[in-house]
Structure 1
Amino acid sequence: MNTFGVYVPGDSLLHRLPAGAKLLALLVVISATLFVRDPVAALTCAALVCLAYPVSRVGIGHLGTTVVGLLPFLVVILAFQTFTAGWRTAVVLSAQLFTAVVLAGLVTLTTRVADMLELFERLARPLRAFGVRPERVALVLALTIRSVPMALTAWRQAREAYVARGLSRRQHHMVVPVIVSLIRSAEAVGEAISARGLD
């Protein structure tokens, strides 16, 4: 059961890889992209990450959702960095951010939440000696991962509602509905956790 509504069932190689291997690969790839300084190379990395979506058979629609939610931030970063550091730096930084977010989204889409929880709990076990409960750490990390697509979904729903009302040029008015939606989602998650006896 997909409790957090993120995992997309499948049988691709990425789906079958252990959660630990995927997170390690995510860390390695993102770290490697930080050393890229050429705009063409940075954009190539971003394109390759996009190709991983159809290869993993999670659907182009999920890639589109991630890109749409990320686009406003990329535009701001691209404009600011172009003005302060030049277009080459702007393109590289934007491509690096794009690669990191899109790749992290792919890992989330192809990894069961239960597998994530088990991995985080296993990694946090040494902290038990300091009075930390590993299951709490795992739950917090899993909820953090879930919060990213949750925020993107809330923003997309608010945008669609405003476009339907002909208010597409007043996107700053979407902030309050998005915040309210996230608060409601957080309350629902909190109630579910309490109902299961977790504190």
Structure 2
Amino acid sequence: MLTGAYVARPSPLHRIPAGPKLAALAGGCTALLLVRTLPGVVVGLAAVVVLYAVGRIRPVEAWVQVRPLRWFMAVLLVVQLLITDVGTAVSLTSRIVLAVALAGLVTLTTRTTDLMAAMERGLGPLRRVGVDPVRVSLMMSLLIRSVPVVTGIAQRVRDAQRARGQERSIRAFAVPLVVGVLRYADTLGEALQARGMDD
């Protein structure tokens, strides 16, 4: 859900309101958590592929949703292989990727404003316990919009590493990335403060 950007297409998924889609996403992710076998993961993969096809999402657009996870998933898979069996390791990493793919599908087929409006309505009853649905919705909106920005910063840092011949240096990647993200956070904070949302 955090890597997607709305793609306007005439598909059945695009016509479904944001609320039911968020509820279906929660149900789908819960179902993935309950899967423990490789055949179950295969069924989940088939379902995700069918849903992307129904939503008329191109393969390259689908790949963008999970591409940022590739290195994290590789490390996680290696760690899991060291502490458990192959089937469990593959199942765990695959389920995480499928959950992210499902979330990405929701954001690809739903406008961000519709998602935030649905979230505000869903959180409405929590006003009684001091939760401000508008602020929570704004926070989620900023989070969704920030992920592509951070990914872009990471890609620029990686390109600069390659240009300097320092592809294997963790420090050469981590330090500029942190600095870039902090600068972006400062800019975002100043924009929110200018709009009176600094409390």
Instruction: Say yes or no: TM over 0.5.
Output: yes
1:87-118 deviation digits (Å, cap 9, x = unpaired): 01001001111101121122122221211221
Q: In 2 relative to 1, CA 79–43 (structure 1 residues): closer, same or farther, beyond 3 Å? A: farther
- Using the TM superposition, give the Cα deviation of residue 178 of structure 1 relative to its aligned residue in structure 2, in angstroms: 2.2
Aligned residues: 196
- Using the TM superposition, give the Cα deviation of residue 63 of structure 1 relative to its aligned residue in structure 2, in angstroms: 2.7
**2:81 paired residue number:** 82
1:121-141 deviation digits (Å, cap 9, x = unpaired): 112222323343321121122
Q: Is the 8 A contact 2:13 2:54 kept in 1?
A: no
- Using the TM superposition, give the Cα deviation of residue 54 of structure 1 relative to its aligned residue in structure 2, in angstroms: 5.0
- Using the TM superposition, give the Cα deviation of residue 163 of structure 1 relative to its aligned residue in structure 2, in angstroms: 2.9
CA distance in 2, matches of 1:128, 1:34: 30
Gaps of 5+ in 1: none
Q: In 2 relative to 1, CA 74–8 (structure 1 residues): closer, same or farther, beyond 3 Å? A: same
CA distance in 2, matches of 1:62, 1:176: 30
Q: Is the 8 A contact 2:11 2:55 kept in 1?
A: yes
- Using the TM superposition, give the Cα deviation of residue 55 of structure 1 relative to its aligned residue in structure 2, in angstroms: 4.2
Q: In 2 relative to 1, CA 57–151 (structure 1 residues): closer, same or farther, beyond 3 Å? A: farther
TM-score in terms of structure 2 length: 0.82
**1:151 paired residue number:** 150
**1:100 paired residue number:** 99
Gaps of 5+ in 2: none
Counterparts of residues 108-127 of structure 1 (less than 5 Å): 108-127=107-126
**1:14 paired residue number:** 13
TM-score in terms of structure 1 length: 0.82
Q: Is the 8 A contact 1:54 1:60 kept in 2?
A: no
Q: What is the root-mean-square deviation of aligned Cα atoms in Å?
A: 2.6
Q: Is the 8 A contact 1:69 1:155 kept in 2?
A: no
SS in 1 for 2:144: helix
- Using the TM superposition, give the Cα deviation of residue 85 of structure 1 relative to its aligned residue in structure 2, in angstroms: 0.9
- Using the TM superposition, give the Cα deviation of residue 72 of structure 1 relative to its aligned residue in structure 2, in angstroms: 0.9
Q: In 2 relative to 1, CA 108–160 (structure 1 residues): closer, same or farther, beyond 3 Å? A: farther
Identity of aligned residues (%): 41
Counterparts of residues 30-179 of structure 1 (less than 5 Å): 30-46=29-45, 48-50=47-49, 52-179=51-178
1:164-185 deviation digits (Å, cap 9, x = unpaired): 4433333552222222232233
> Which residue identity is paired with 2:35?
V
SS in 2 for 1:34: helix
Q: Is the 8 A contact 1:82 1:90 kept in 2?
A: yes
CA distance in 2, matches of 1:46, 1:119: 27
Relative contact order: is structure 1 or structure 2 higher (C-alpha 8 Å, sep ≥ 6)? 2
